[in-house]
Structure 1
Amino acid sequence: MAISSVPPLAFAFGILGNIVSFLVYLSPAPTFYRIWKKKSTEGFQSFPYSVALFSATLYLYYAFLKKDALILITINSVGCVFEISYLAIFMIYAKKESRAFTCKLLLLFNLTSLGLIIGGTRLFSHGDNRVRIVGWICAAFSVSVFAAPLSIMRQVIRTKSVEFMPFSLSFFLTLCAVMWFCYGFLIKDYYIAAPNVLGLSFGIMQMLLYVVYKDRKQQIQPQEANKDRKEQIQPQEAKIHDLNTIEGLNKALENSMNVVSNGQELEIIVIDHHDDEIPGVVVIRSKEPTTN
């Protein structure tokens, strides 16, 4: 479809879709800058980027089959460059197991599957039929791209932390889905429009999760700190030590406890202000006899 034949409103949504899609591809850049800076992939996963690369290459093939689909060719070419760059950084700093898993994904999606799709459609289909087959495959894998963040959403719910789900990515994915749905609907290309309905739904779900869990980690940390402090200041069971020895005195001073000196039972009370500027106070007194 030539650009001149695209309705003006559809062309406008196509340009906006290109701009927003570029921002979507750019949004993980801070994440990979962090990986590069820390020389570690931490808890980040390569699966969404592997699937996104496969989707971009598929739509690139679809755009070439449609002919004159410059809007699709432009953004999917950019997408391939971004995704390859991200995966290269991931492979450099990932652990051996993660690197091996990523290699398997690339072998499965971008070599085996893509090769079979291109080879199969070139051999067994022609003309518009080939375009329709590739369009259905693209639509199916677009759903996979939008569903890929489900693993990250599950991680957010499990850890109650949005650390590994950047809000910017969720926001731009949602906005991107709106733009491409409108573009596909206006040019009557439902292989583009239909999957973006699901993309919009997943994008909204991710943003809702971000709202729910963005402050949860800050709330949990003070509670854990208070719990740890309470455990630290729990009084220990009183013990009897011989005050006539240096070792006994040192042990006695650790906490308030009973001691024995020259046959007389004494009580040592340690008053700790928990302040570096105020010294602690040690009080030694005769232990009052207990009455039966």
Structure 2
Amino acid sequence: MSLPTYDVLLEATAVVSTVLQFLSGVIICRKYIQKKSTGESSGLPFICGFLSTSFWLRYGLLTDEQIVVLVNIIGAFLFLCYTMVYYIFSVNKKSFLREFGLVLCILFGVWYYTDSIEAEAEKIRLMGIICCVITVCFFAAPLTMLVHVIRMRNSESLPFPLIVMTFLVSVQWVIYGVIISDTFIQIPNFIGCLLSLLQLCLFVIYPPKSYSGQGYRLVDQSPIF
């Protein structure tokens, strides 16, 4: 029996690590179920995660990249489940439904528009640009916490395990993007690597002052896809 190539190993580890990152939402939803309420937390990360993975799923189908299709089918399903759990325990269902409805309109609108484009290369280019923009925006979202960290000179509020996971997953997808020569996969994940490194540097510059209370509390992180 021949040994797996490095490409196959990279694909397997990239899928596993990305799915594990997606599964971080289970911890958040478990808290909602236990409290029977979402409290003041926002369900937007779940909705945006569903939009992002759906777009990347579309991109994977257009480029015939089976690994991209696989990981984002799983991601879209998980984020849809998280969205449903959030809705069930949401304290403001009407507002949440409006947000989800808007995201569905965007999703179907982009899907319909790309279908109307005859040139396959143009479809892929447009979908790639959309995926890049959305992924970079999601990567940049946690940076709002950096102002708080710098002001307080304390990195306790940053989720160290999730930042490390984001960095490792981004590195894997950058390498995969280089192997298949896909710029649209390389760019957003390279930016994700840099932003994750920036956040990790804060743990060295402003080490956590305490490990009690809300230290390393879990916050929503941007999905890779």
Please classify the TM superposition score into its range, dividing by the shorter chain length: 0.7 to 0.9
* Runs of 5+ unmatched residues, structure 2: 214-225
Matched residue type, 1:188: S
- In structure 1, which of residues 51, 59, 68 is the aligned counterpart of residue 48 of structure 2? 51
How many residues were matched structurally? Answer: 207
Cα RMSD of the aligned pairs, angstroms, is: 2.7
Matched residue type, 1:39: K
Q: How far apart, CA to CA, are the structure 2 residues paired with 1:44 and 1:210?
A: 25
Question: Aligned residue for 1:73?
Answer: 69
Q: How far apart, CA to CA, are the structure 2 residues paired with 1:154 and 1:47?
A: 21
Question: Aligned residue for 1:105?
Answer: 99
Q: How far apart, CA to CA, are the structure 2 residues paired with 1:43 and 1:161?
A: 23
State the Cα distance separating 1:169 from its structure 2 match: 2.2
1:137 correspondence with 2:146: no
Matched residue type, 1:26: L
Question: Aligned residue for 2:117?
Answer: 124
Q: How far apart, CA to CA, are the structure 1 residues paired with 2:193 and 2:96?
A: 27
Contact (CA 8 Å) 1:51, 1:148: kept in 2 or not? Answer: no
**Higher relative contact order structure (alpha carbons within 8 Å, sequence separation ≥ 6):** 2
Matched residue type, 2:85: I
Question: Aligned residue for 2:220?
Answer: none
Contact (CA 8 Å) 1:27, 1:168: kept in 2 or not? Answer: no
Contact (CA 8 Å) 1:13, 1:179: kept in 2 or not? Answer: yes
Q: How far apart, CA to CA, are the structure 2 residues paired with 1:85 and 1:158?
A: 36
Q: How far apart, CA to CA, are the structure 2 residues paired with 1:150 and 1:186?
A: 29
TM-score, with structure 2 as normaliser: 0.79
* Runs of 5+ unmatched residues, structure 1: 1-7, 220-292
Question: Aligned residue for 1:201?
Answer: 194
Q: How far apart, CA to CA, are the structure 1 residues paired with 2:37 and 2:68?
A: 34
- In structure 2, which of residues 150, 165, 169 is the aligned counterpart of residue 172 of structure 1? 165
Indicate how the Cα distance of structure 1 residues 200 and 207 shifts in structure 2: closer, same or farther if over 3 A, else same.
Answer: same
Indicate how the Cα distance of structure 1 residues 33 and 210 shifts in structure 2: closer, same or farther if over 3 A, else same.
Answer: farther
Per-residue CA distance 1:106-139 (angstroms, 9 max, x = gap): 2222x11111211111113422221121111111
Structure 2 counterpart SS, 1:149: helix
Structure 2 counterpart SS, 1:41: coil
Indicate how the Cα distance of structure 1 residues 157 and 115 shifts in structure 2: closer, same or farther if over 3 A, else same.
Answer: farther
Q: In terms of Rg, which structure is larger?
A: 1
Q: Which has the higher strand share?
A: 1
Q: How far apart, CA to CA, are the structure 2 residues paired with 1:34 and 1:156?
A: 25
Q: Which has the higher helix share?
A: 2
